[in-house]
Amino acid sequence: DTGVSQNPRHKITKRGQNVTFRCDPISEHNRLYWYRQTLGQGPEFLTYFQNEAQLEKSRLLSDRFSAERPKGSFSTLEIQRTEQGDSAMYLCASSFPGTYNEQYFGPGTRLTVT
């Protein structure tokens, strides 16, 4: 296990199409987070899972966004009817509720909507 992995690393799609991203957390981590980062900005929180339960959702997560973590392991983030404003880096992080609950980040999926 070399850390949090995300697939695909890059995705180019046309406006109006649906896209799905996958995140595989570190195996013993039961907490999983999604963030979005646009150019020149810091990451912004989207949503958080503890095991399979989605416990927090940002107001940034519009109705076109949905995230799942069906078995408490990997997670998917789907964006329906993509818009140009969805172009960003989508980051996944995972953590284990230990001493500091440190979040370990994946490499991200860069989405470009044309």
Q: With CB under 8 A, what is the number of residues at the site for other proteins?
A: 26
Closest by CA position to 114, among listed 22, 19, 23: 19
Q: How far is the CB of 81 from other proteins (least distance, A)?
A: 26
Candidate residues 9, 102, 112, 114; the one interacting with other proteins per rule CB under 8 A: 102
- Which residues ranging from 28 to 57 are in contact with other proteins (CB under 8 A)? 31, 33, 35, 40-45, 48, 55-56
Q: Does 107 bind other proteins (CB under 8 A)?
A: yes
Q: Does 98 bind other proteins (CB under 8 A)?
A: no
Pairing of strands 10-13, 109-113: parallel
C-alpha 43/C-alpha 110 separation (Å) is 13
Decide whether 72 or 107 has the Cβ nearer to other proteins.
Answer: 107
Candidate residues 75, 82, 94, 95; the one interacting with other proteins per rule CB under 8 A: 95
C-alpha 1/C-alpha 61 separation (Å) is 30
Q: How far is the CB of 16 from other proteins (least distance, A)?
A: 30
Residue 75, CA distances (Å) to 7, 48, 82, 99, 111 in order: 11, 10, 19, 24, 17
